[in-house]
Structure 1
Amino acid sequence: MNRFDFSGVPIEGLATSPQIQAASDWFTRYGYVILDNVESPEKIRSLRAEFFENYKDQIRDHEAADSLEVGARRFMIPLRFSGGLGAPTVFANPYALALVRSVLDEAAIVDAFGAILSLNGAEDQHIHHDGPILFNSEISRLLPAYALTFALPLVDMNDLSGTTAIWPGSHRRGNYEGQEPLHPEVPVGSCMLWDYRTYHSGTANRSDHVRPMVYATYARRWYQDPVNFRKETLPRLVFEPGFIRGLPDDLRPLFAHVRSTG
């Protein structure tokens, strides 16, 4: 089973729950997992409206200083840690975070936070993994996960608007040749996570609207994505002074790598 339903699952005791353990085991073996019903569809619709209001100027078909083109008509932009989109219920969704800390460790950090925009008419993305193989060595395939991507769609991911094609087990094999990918449907309120080494590809957006997907990169304390933020004008994390100090004690470690906690 590649997806786990968290409707009605209490937040208390999540770290040791059988659901998180099963999802963690699946993720470790196959390099991805889908968590269903981690947020209400109504809340996601509210976040979508907020996104289109606050980030409308960044929906454009060209790379700017504050964006990165990651495919034809497909762009990565930073999101601010403010409003509903920057709330802990998003970047530290309790169900996703319990899985992150199980797969990585309790000291896992948020290395980057933003959105991927697939404009209408976006074609299939190139097949890739999110970061280079650790140490540029095949031994990396044998190691536990050191970084992963959390994807929270603001529009249903399906055959019309597009989804993320995934090659299960490719984080261990080191290739995707000879294997058909999965094209999972991920409705609003659900999320998808994949290992940084897992091959995947955004599929074509055949709808008449933009498909925004909130993402966060979680990593072990010592890891930093060396590829996607080489542009000095593209920040990994954007927050106001006092943001980290205002977080609950259990979430502050997510930003332990940030030099200033102003």
Structure 2
Amino acid sequence: MSTTYDRTELISSISFTDIERDNGSFSEDKLVEAMDLFEQYGFIRLVNVFSHKRMANLNSHYRHRYRHLLQGTNKDDLRPLFTVDVEGPFNDETFYANPHIHSFVCNILGRKCILGAMSSVASYPGAPDQRLHRDTQAIFGDGPDDYTIDKNVPVYAMTVLIPLVDCTLETGCTKVWPKSHLTPNDSEALRIDSLDPEVFVGSALITNSKLLHRGGANLSDRLRPLLYMTYHRSWFRDFYGYEDRPPVNVTNFEYRKIPDNHKHMFSWTKNTYKYIRYKAMVKRLLPRFVKKQAGKIVRR
């Protein structure tokens, strides 16, 4: 394995003009090219999909709302990971359903795809390289690292990385192993030369959940906060890594603000079957409770 640093000609990337960005227009030619690159390499960098004004608004809210998590950490890897609440500028369809990103995601995962996670990882100065990983464990293999079958399965989950400061070789890029989503295990994936695509504020890096990657070391003297959202096919759920926190956190009040055409994206957190199960449990327990209370009254 060797590392090839930010070689622009080797990085699958699609750029948008300010007019295309503001109009939310994703031409058919660019969309097809982006999908082809993503299928081939397992990642795509979309350049200039958020305006500087919008990113400044997101960054301001983020720094204020999560300041208690950004003033120090006891994490050994200096990378606190936490759920970002769906509120304020994060409860805005131009963020979680950005026209370019959402169009791209839906063309791969289908129009019924859901939002599987909205989180942040903040790398402190001195944070080392992150551990090598794929965002989802194999679902058809004999073990979590057996992608013999999964590598031939169409994409069922993808991650969108959105930096709040420029992700450079100094602050730390997300190192990727191109085409590793097509390999049967990590040993085979590591035979591939890695890349360090720099991603600047206003742009996003989208990865196939089966792509081998890791966050780079933060060699700078400033915090490197990164937002990420995962999108799933409607039938897929990812529970790994969310044992102690919700993957998506949206209150009923905030949920009512979401446009009807996007409410399905939050179906994992607002699962109607959950309420059916609660109702069935109440029906099952209520008679027992009533009989118990009635017995107390009779005994009195």
Calculate the TM-score normalised by the size of structure 2. Answer: 0.79
Q: Does 1:221 align with 2:234?
A: yes
Structure 2 distance, partners of 1:17, 1:248, is: 26
Structure 1 distance, partners of 2:261, 2:24, is: 14
Instruction: Please give the root-mean-square deviation of Cα atoms over the aligned residues, in Å.
Output: 1.9
Structure 2 distance, partners of 1:28, 1:129, is: 16
Partner residue of 2:112? 107
Aligned length: 251
User: After the TM superposition, which segments of 4 or more aligned residues of structure 1 sit over 3 Å from their partners?
Assistant: none
Structure 1, residues 165-194: CA drift from partner, whole Å, max 9, x if none?
Answer: 001100001332222211011110000010
Kept after mapping to 2: 8 A contact 1:28/1:103: no
Unaligned runs of 5+ in 2: 1-10, 142-146, 276-300
2:127 to 99, 106, 122: 122
Structure 2 distance, partners of 1:86, 1:24, is: 27
Structure 1, residues 24-64: CA drift from partner, whole Å, max 9, x if none?
Answer: 1211111110000101123212322221111011123235x
Larger radius of gyration: 2
2:32 to 14, 21, 30: 21
1:171 to 172, 181, 186: 181
Offset, 1:200: 0.4
Kept after mapping to 1: 8 A contact 2:163/2:203: yes
Structure 1 distance, partners of 2:91, 2:264, is: 17
Partner residue of 2:5? none
Percent same amino acid at aligned positions?
28
Partner residue of 1:210? 223
| SS at structure 2 position matched to 1:215 | strand
| SS at structure 1 position matched to 2:64 | helix
After the TM superposition, which residues 52-91 of structure 1 pair with which residues of structure 2 at under 5 Å, given as runs? 52-59=63-70, 60-62=72-74, 72-91=77-96
Letter aligned with residue 184 of structure 1: P
Partner residue of 1:251? 262
Structure 1, residues 102-137: CA drift from partner, whole Å, max 9, x if none?
Answer: 111111000111111111110011111011012225
1:49 to 60, 63, 73: 60
Unaligned runs of 5+ in 1: 64-70
Structure 2 distance, partners of 1:120, 1:238, is: 28
Letter aligned with residue 231 of structure 2: Y
Kept after mapping to 2: 8 A contact 1:167/1:198: yes
Structure 1 distance, partners of 2:204, 2:48, is: 8
Structure 2 distance, partners of 1:225, 1:48, is: 27
